[in-house]
């Protein structure tokens, strides 16, 4: 799947049904040796985020990628205070 196909998808948390963000507003952390996506870094938006923090979603947390949304399963939402540049 191409990034252009992923960009328009919303990220939804299976645990609480909350919208975590959009893939188009996110950064990907890629393993330079394998080329695999390790995590998705979601920019802060809405009430689920505190100012200055971003969400880190491990690739393993992804349950489904549908036509309009990506479903992730996060019981706790991991946050990172200082996102990678």
pLDDT in tens, 36-51: 999 999 876 555 445 5
Question: pTM of the entire structure?
Answer: 0.72
Average pLDDT over residues 7-25: 88
**Residue 83's pLDDT band (cuts 50, 70, 90):** very low
Least confident of 11-25, 26-40, 41-55: 41-55
pLDDT in tens, 58-71: 999 999 999 999 99
Q: How many CB atoms lie within 10 A of CB 42?
A: 24
Report the alpha-carbon distance of residue 27 to residue 63 in Å, rounded: 19
Mean pLDDT computed over every residue of the chain: 81
- In this structure, are residues 65 and 9 in contact, taking their beta carbons and an 8 Å threshold? yes
- Domains and their CATH numbers in the chain: 3-75 (2.30.30.240)
């Amino acid at each position: 799947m191409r990034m252009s196909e992923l960009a328009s998808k919303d990220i939804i948390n299976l645990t609480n049904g909350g919208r975590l963000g959009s893939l188009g507003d996110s950064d990907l952390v890629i393993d330079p040796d394998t080329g695999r996506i390790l995590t998705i870094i979601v920019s802060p938006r809405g009430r689920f985020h505190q100012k200055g923090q971003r969400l880190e979603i491990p690739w393993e947390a992804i349950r489904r990628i549908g036509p309009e949304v990506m479903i992730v399963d996060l019981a706790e939402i991991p946050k990172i205070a200082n996102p990678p540049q």
